[in-house]
Each structure stands twice: as C-alpha cells, then as structure tokens.
Amino acid sequence: MANKKKRKKIKIQAFLVKPFLICLGVFMIGNILLPTREYSEVENRSLAKRPRLTLSSLQTGTFMEQYEDYLMDQFIGRNLLRDLKVRIDTFAGNKEENGVYRGKQGQLMEDVVIPDQEVLKKNVKAIKEFAESNSGIPTSMILVPDAACILEDELPSLATVANQRTMIKSVKRELGESVSWVDAVSVLDTHKNEKVYYKTDHHWTTLGAYYVFQESGSALGVQSKEESTFSPYAVTTTFNGTLSSKSGYEENEKEEIDIYTPQGEDLDVVVNYVQEQKKTTSLYDSTKLDTKDKYAVFLGGNYSLLDIKTTVNAKRKLLMFKDSYANCFIPFLTPYFREIVVVDPRYYTGDVSELVGTYNITDCVFLYNANTFFADNNISGVLTGE
C-alpha cells in the first residue's frame, strides 16, 4: 500500500516536466519570433529595443541590463500579463499601482511629488530674479494643484498623500511681491464637484483651465468675459489617459475632451513651431485624436518653443513658461494678445533674455502643474542661461 502511494506521488512530479519545458520553450521561441515593437499604445511609452553590443557595454555590464529591459518590454503577451497582474493586485485589495491611486468612483490620481529642496530653491530663486530684473514686464504665476490635492476626499480610504497645499503656499511666500499670484487652489476647490480633472489622466480638464483662467483675469490684466463668450464642444468621447496607461486601472473608461472656442469673433492664429520649422493655422491638432495620446490635440503636444501670432487688435505680447497643463489653457489667452511665445523649459535650450528682446515681450506668465513643477530641474537652468 505504502509502495503504491509512493508511486502515485512520483508520477505527479514527472508529469510536470513536459508542461514546464513546453512553457519555457514557447515563451523563449515566442520572444525570439515576435517582431520588436517600438511603442506600447496601452502603456503609452516607448519600449526598450535590443541594445547594441559593444566591448565597453559588455565590460561594464550595461549591455546585460539593457538586454533584460529589452526582454521585459518585448515579452510575448506583455499586455495580457500586465492585465493579469493588475487584476490580482486589485483582488488583493491594492489601491495603488505604479504611483497611481485608484480612488473612489474610479478617479485615478497621481501621488503627490515631494520636491528636492535644493532644486526647488534654485527654481524659485530664478523665477524671482527673472521677474525682478524685468521690472517693466508684469509677471504672474499660476501653479495648478494636482487631483490628489483637490480631490483628496476621493482618495482610497485611509490613503494619505503629502500636503501639496502647504508646498504651493510656501512657493507663493518665497516669490512674495515679485509676481502676481493666481490662486488656482481655491478656484479648483470651489469647483471640485464639477469635472475639473480627468478621471484617467493627470491633466486638468478644459473646464478646470477655464475656471482658473477666469480667476487669473486681474493678474494677467485681461478682461475675462462672461462664460457665454466661450462655447465648449467635445472633440472626442473616447479618451483614456496616461494614468490609466501607467497603472493599468480603468482601461475601459472613456472620457470626453472639450475645447472652448471664443464665440462671435473670428479669430485667426498662426502657430509657428520654431525648432521644427513648421507652421499651422490652428491651436488644435486633430490628427492626435486618432492616437492614444489624445490630450495632445492641444497644440499637438509639447514643443520647446512656440510662437503663436493672432489677428487680435492688441499690442501686448506674452511670454509663457509652461508644462503640458498650459496646452489647454493657451486658447483662452489668444483673444487678448497679439503674440504668445511659449517656452517649455524641459526642451528649450536657448537664451531667454534674447527672447524677451527679439519678441518685444510685454507680459510674462509661468503656468505649471504642481507635480511637474516640484519635480522640475530645468527652470533655473533656462532662466539663468546656465
């Protein structure tokens, strides 16, 4: 009897050999045969490609590290496996994936970035000095809080994030009188029950931008007219944003992207993508609506330097330092400025003081999302020309 039992037990182990080896073989050959993909639509990022083999990369071991990244990124069935992992994590009670919280009612929120104090100090100092040295040019600052700050109540139960309000307040205090401050936090607080942030993306909605624009009227010296002068309409209803890609949560959620156009007046623009040497006559790039990254419909995404000329009968010329939050905000400004020069310090490497002279700038604004601002290490470099 004991013997018989033992024999059965042995069989189980032997039985596992074939399926396991088949599994190894299928994945190995599958990985080899699968053509290399450049870009993952689902994850919204470029995938690692096969590294080049050189003597030095071999010697330092970087080749091996890159090769592992390549195998991971190009793994056969990667999207299915990713889906499996997110499902298991969700079942296990997990409410955070890759730095993204899945809040109540499926609101996705990026964790609040904690700044490196040294870098932050340098950035703030550079902004202050820039504003003070160009005293003839009124400068304002719009620092837009993140969803995790405004929609704190929507965070998963018990989840806590760093206090972004205090961080933003301390930037305001540091800048003091050198800039006119636009209090985006309280505006968005007032409207937090409306859809001011996307559910699946880290950006604010055009509605959120519109409320902050109204508030910024006095700081920017523009007469913000009644809401009726801009009319919203949806350009897509199938937007699934980057937070979804990053976390794997809510990948079936479809959202609407609205654009607001000034009513009545006929306003023409010419957008000059300076470095790319490309010109268009629209603030919107509708071809992006067919891609995954639909938020890029605003100005086609992020570029180092844009020069937007309008047909408005005005003399003022605005210089803007910004991140992607500004892309849906800029259309609100076009009726008030003859020209808007838009610098994205993450990509721009030229001389800023030269820009001020060349374009005869009369006004300046810094528009940043708090998370990008607190993680940024380019602003001080671009402003001081270092």
Partner 1 sequence: MLFSSVSFLFMFLPITLLLYFLVPARFKNLVLLICSLFFYAWGEPVYVVLMILSIVFNYACGLDIGYNADDPVHAKRGIIFAVVVNLLILGFFKYYGFLIGSINAVFPVNIPYRELELPIGISFYTFQAMSYVIDVYRKRVRPQRDLMLFAVYVSMFPQLIAGPIVRYADIEAQLKQRNISPNRFGDGIMYFIRGLAKKVLIANTVGGIFDQISGMGFGSFSMLTAWVGCVSYAFQIYFDFSGYSDMAIGLGKMFGFDFLKNFEYPYTAKSITDFWRRWHISLSTWFREYVYIPLGGNRKGTKRTVINLLIVWALTGLWHGANWTFLFWGLYYGGILVLEKFVIGERINRLPGALQHAYTLILVLIGWVFFFSPDLGYAFRYLGVMFGIGAKGLADQQALFFVLTNWLLYLVSITASTSFGYYVLDRGVYNYRNGQGRRGVACIIYLAMFIVSIAFLVTENFNPFLYFRF
Tokens linked to 339? 């020209």
Question: Does residue 39 interact with partner 1 by CB under 8 A?
Answer: no
Question: Does residue 27 interact with partner 1 by CB under 8 A?
Answer: yes
Residue 44-63 contact track with partner 1, rule CB under 8 A, x = bound = --------------xxxx--
Question: Does residue 2 interact with partner 1 by CB under 8 A?
Answer: no
Name the E strands within the chain. 39-40, 45-46, 96-97, 100-102, 108-110, 139-144, 180-182, 230-239, 255-262, 269-273, 278-280, 305-310, 317-322, 339-343, 363-369
Question: Does residue 95 interact with partner 1 by CB under 8 A?
Answer: yes
Could you say which residues in the range 177-196 bind partner 1, by CB under 8 A? none
DSSP 22-58: HHHHHHHHHHHHSPPPSEETTTTEEPP-PPP--HHHH
Q: Half-sphere exposure of residue 244, counting CA atoms within 13 Å on the CB side?
A: 21
Q: Which of 45, 54, 68, 311 binds partner 1 (CB under 8 A)?
A: 68
Are 258 and 234 in contact, with CB atoms under 8 Å apart?
yes
Question: Does residue 375 interact with partner 1 by CB under 8 A?
Answer: no
Tokens linked to 377? 């290490």
CA pair distance 42, 38, nearest whole angstrom:
12
Instruction: Name the residue nearer to partner 1 (CB basis): 38 or 80.
Output: 80
Q: Which of 35, 92, 226, 266 binds partner 1 (CB under 8 A)?
A: 92
Q: How far is the CB of 366 from partner 1 (least distance, A)?
A: 29
Question: Does residue 82 interact with partner 1 by CB under 8 A?
Answer: yes
Instruction: Name the residue nearer to partner 1 (CB basis): 248 or 300.
Output: 248
Residue 284 DSSP code: B
Count of residues engaged in binding partner 1, rule: CB under 8 A: 45
Residue 147-176 contact track with partner 1, rule CB under 8 A, x = bound = ---------xxxxx----------------
CA pair distance 74, 66, nearest whole angstrom:
12
CA pair distance 247, 108, nearest whole angstrom:
9
Interface region with partner 1, contact rule CB under 8 A, candidates 64-72, 211-219, 266-274, 359-367: 64-72
Instruction: Name the residue nearer to partner 1 (CB basis): 163 or 186.
Output: 163
Question: Does residue 75 interact with partner 1 by CB under 8 A?
Answer: yes
Instruction: Name the residue nearer to partner 1 (CB basis): 29 or 234.
Output: 29
Name the residues that contact partner 1, by CB under 8 A: 8, 10-17, 19-21, 23-25, 27-28, 31, 58-61, 64, 67-68, 71-72, 75, 78, 81-82, 84-85, 88, 91-96, 156-160
